[in-house]
A and B are shown apart, each in its own frame.
Chain A
Amino acid sequence: MSEEKKKVSKDPSLDEILESSRRDFLKKLGIVGAASVTGAAAIYSGYVHEKSKSSGEMVKVLTEDNRLVEIPKEQIKDYKPDLKTLQLRGRDGIKGKKWVMVLDLSRCRNARKCVTACQSAHQLRPYEYHINTLVMQESVNTPAYYMPKTCQHCDNPPCVSVCPVDATFKRQDGIVLIDNERCIGCRFCMSACPYSARMFHWQEPLVTEGDKEKEYNIELNVPQKKGTISKCLFSADRLREDTLPYCVSACPNGVFYFGDENENAVTNGTTKETVLLSELLEKNGAYRLLAELGTKPRVYYLPPKNRLFEFKEGEKTEYKEIT
């Protein structure tokens, strides 16, 4: 081959030059190919060797009951809770917390980012709501304003009282959840809810391909199920990961505060500023929806005063049923 190469260099016509570079390329490719096969084999044998080792590197791991233990590194597996675990912890709630939401109506401009973020997290159609923004106006002489409406997570929830099978329940951290593994679809809770906060799956729910096989997570209520109730969950799955609910972090206008009543602190989802809950409520004359019904909501509203913008009724969206 080297003789050939020399020959070519002696008499370099265009064709020969091209021919030479082709051969050269093939040769190099051959070397690279051989090297990569050997390399892969070496890596594989190393892997097999590592695997067969009974004792190797140890790592320290904190167990659920707060014990620091040491286990071989190769025995670590990604944890995927099964349905039973998800159900148990979902019904139990997060210890020591009392979740609370505050909505500053003076900042809401009906961006509806909370609605869409919620719908994409919970796989809902555009007109299926866990949170809905409403145009409110008490009388012709009082100003109109926008009001995002979630489940109020009442401390005296009428929906929980009437449920015949304990499908909807109140957790220790104040969240009212729905178990669609249990719900029989009687819709008594819908009748009982004074805030119309609940929705029902009248048809096959919107399920994205990947989520069909997912284990049902009661704290996300996904996959949703036909013939059962669904509702706002205060994004219980996010709270377990110590992050703010979907709607709260999606708001561009700083409407939402969310936090723990026990800590007396709430964080604004937009500015990420944390303030004292009691002070926020007191200084702004907070109120709760339909307080006269005695449902004791965990959602507070700050009245729409001192608005920095004029109320503008947005264009009406026509919603069409999707089957």
Chain B
Amino acid sequence: MAGSLLSSEKYREKLESVSSDILRNVRINRGFILWMGFLSVVLAACLFAYSIQLRKGLGVTGLRDITSWGVYIANFVFFVATSLVGMLISSVLGLSGAKWVKPIARIAEIIAVAFAAIAGLVIVSDMGRPDRLPYVFLFGRVQSPILWDVTVVTTYFFVSLLLWFLPLIPDLAISKTRLPGRPKFLIAAYDLLSVKWVHHEKQYQLLHQAMRVLLILIIPLAFAIHTVTSWLFAVTPRAGWDSSIFGPYFISGAFVSGTAAVIIAMYFFRVNYKLQKYLTEDHFEKIARVLVLVSIIYIYFNLNEFLVPGYKLKSLDAIHLKELFSGHYAPLFWGVQLFGLIIPTFLLLVKRMRRPLPLVVISVFVLAASWLKRYIIVVPPQAHPNLPVQNFPVEWVVYKPTLIEIAVSVASIILVLMIITVLSKLFPVIPIQEIAEDEAGGIKEPLDNV
């Protein structure tokens, strides 16, 4: 670590300019209060819907014996998927030496932390007896993929939180003296969280070592969380779930939804926080290429997932695929595949489309389609079990999500937005120290010696 650089005049200058640009947005202003207030009101309404479910049971949802997993589980899979982007940006791209990811790494980690934190709650909303949640720890059986899921999602959340927090420590130390007029509690929090950081060379050395370990550790962990989530389905002998490529199929899909989420966040911060200097057109160009790459991989897995059983047409697979290709779910299926995956990929091959505005519009489509894709993965395979469905009321046979189900799912999205808002409004959203160091120039990449 170039100690001389940290004390150089140029670095000090850069630190001043970068910190003033970034810290300008760290404030509790009217916009923040109104936005949080709005989210809280919507959240309260949604929690009321959940209270009805708690009182009356899961019968208030559209779920019944035939389709017993629905919007909640689709939402859970989407949350776990989207949280994976933290690993993709910070670890895979960061460790491979892509220096451009530095300003967006923290945004990616915020998304990872927010989605991973709420994913667990989403699962609880699907439980028939949420009061028995402790039983999972008291009587847990290692044979059950649910146990693996609980373990890895929790671990992933904490490691992601560390990956967000550790590089923030120097920034907190830098910022705590540069936040005049902010509430006292915020300054006190900065002081406390900066853990007596004094910018000593040794401290930076340890920090970079710790980061390196975590960045490597989180790769298998991230693969584990989404592979295990896919196994919730793949371990069951149902047409549509009974697939040996479900692990990589889910992971590649996760990168698509996560990248789209990061692009939307980048665009928001660029425009609202006026960070055009830090989140440049070049950053959008590069992340658009990442989106193209992960989308092509995902298209490849889709091809495998649908073409191979579609060629053999085993009886139950045939029923399932017919429902998707030309039956009840066809509009949704083709809509998702075309507007959320294939057309975006082709559009992004055109350079003009990789500029911030068109890119963010495309990303909104991709993200929405990602959610619906999880619905297509979860719901239709349950409609046609091995044995015929007979002697049931009609509402037991055809799954239709209810308003309560949708409200409870909206609650989870509100919570994610709240976490993202707090983490990005009360703390610097771009790494100040690292950017200043980079701009001062010529220093060794902290990750180069991996």
CB A18 to nearest CB in B, in angstroms, measures 68
Chain A residue nearest in CB terms to B149: A164
A75 to B57, CA, bound (A): 46
Q: How far is the CB of B166 from chain A (nearest CB, A)?
A: 33
Contact B56 A321 (CB under 8 A): no
A204 at the interface (CB under 8 A from B): yes
A residues 181-234 near B (Cβ < 8 Å) are 182-188, 190-192, 194-196, 198-204, 226-229
Contact of B237 among A134, A194, A317, A320 (CB under 8 A): A194
Contact B389 A196 (CB under 8 A): yes
Q: Which B residues from 387 to 408 make CB contacts under 8 A with A?
A: 387-393, 395-396
**Which residues 138-186 of B sit at the A interface, judged by CB distance below 8 A?**
138-141, 143-147, 150
The answer on a CB contact under 8 Å between B136 and A184 is: yes
Say if the beta carbon of A172 comes within 8 Å of chain B: no
Given A196-B385, A200-B128, are A158 and B391 neighbors across the interface (CB < 8 Å)?
no
Taking a contact as CB atoms closer than 8 A, the residue among A162, A184, A319, A323 that contacts B392 in the complex is A319
Q: Known contacts A203-B56, A321-B395; is A183 also within 8 Å of B129 by CB?
A: yes
Contact, CB under 8 Å: A190 / B57:
no
Is A191 a contact of B382 with CB atoms below 8 Å? yes
Contact call A195/B136, Cβ cutoff below 8 A: no
Q: Is A165 an interface residue (CB 8 A)?
A: yes
Contacts of B386 in A (CB 8 A): 194-196, 290
Q: Which residues from chain B contact A107 at a C-beta distance below 8 Å? A: none
Residues of A within 8 A of B61 (CB): 202
> How far, in Å, is B366 (CB) from chain A's closest CB?
28
| Bound CA–CA A194/B386 (angstroms) | 6
Residues of chain B with a CB closer than 8 A to A185's CB: 58, 127-129, 132
Asked whether any CB of chain A lies closer than 8 Å to the CB of B65, the reply is yes
Pick from A136, A162, A165, A321: contact of B139, CB below 8 A: A165
A311 interfacial by beta-carbon distance below 8 Å = no
Q: Is B236 an interface residue (CB 8 A)?
A: yes
Does B133 touch A at the CB level, under 8 Å?
Answer: yes
Interface centre among A134, A191, A196, A321 (most CB of B within 10 A): A191
In this assembly, does A163 line the interface, its C-beta being within 8 Å of a C-beta of chain B? yes
CB nearest to A295 among chain B residues: B237
Is B317 interfacial (CB-CB < 8 Å)? no
Let me know if B64 is at the binding interface, CB within 8 A.
yes
- A127-B392, A165-B140, A290-B386 known; A191 vs B68 contact (CB < 8 Å): yes
Distance to closest chain B CB from A258 (angstroms) = 21
**Across the two chains, which residue of chain B brings its CB closest to A188?**
B146
With A135-B390, A317-B391 in contact, is A191–B57 under 8 Å at CB? no
In the complex, are the beta carbons of B238 and A191 less than 8 A apart?
yes
A184-B140 CB under 8 A given contacts A196-B66, A202-B59, A227-B128: no
Chain A: minimal CB distance from B141 (Å): 5
Chain B residues whose CB sits within 8 angstroms of the CB of A320 once the complex forms: 393
Among A183, A201, A229, which residue has its beta carbon within 8 angstroms of that of B57?
A201
Q: With A165-B135, A186-B146 known to touch, is A200 a contact of B68 (CB < 8 Å)?
A: yes
Question: Interface centre among A132, A185, A198, A323, by most B CB within 10 Å?
Answer: A185
State the CA gap A136–B56 with chains docked (Å). 36
Known A-B contacts A161-B143, A191-B238, A319-B393; the reply to A136 vs B132 at CB < 8 A is no
Q: Across the interface, name the chain B residue whose C-beta is closest to A225.
A: B129
Interface members, chain B 365-396 (any A CB < 8 Å): 382, 385-393, 395-396
Residues in B whose Cβ lies below 8 Å from that of A127: 391-393, 396
- Is A166's beta carbon under 8 Å from chain B? yes
Is B238 touching A166 in the complex (CB atoms < 8 A)? no
In the complex, what residues of A have CB within 8 A of residue B139's CB? 165-166, 182
Given the complex, which residues of B lie within 8 Å of A298, measured CB to CB? Answer: none
A-B contact pairs, 11 of them (CB 8 A): A134-B390, A158-B237, A185-B129, A188-B144, A188-B232, A192-B235, A194-B236, A194-B238, A200-B68, A202-B63, A227-B127
Of all A-B residue pairs in the complex, the 6 with the closest CB atoms, nearest first, are: A185-B128, A227-B128, A202-B59, A203-B59, A164-B146, A164-B144
Apart from A185-B127, A185-B132, A319-B391, list 6 A-B contacts with CB within 8 A: A162-B143, A164-B141, A165-B138, A186-B126, A191-B68, A289-B387
Q: Give residues in A with beta carbon < 8 Å to B.
A: 127, 129, 132-136, 149, 158, 161-166, 182-188, 190-192, 194-196, 198-204, 226-229, 289-290, 293, 317, 319-321, 323
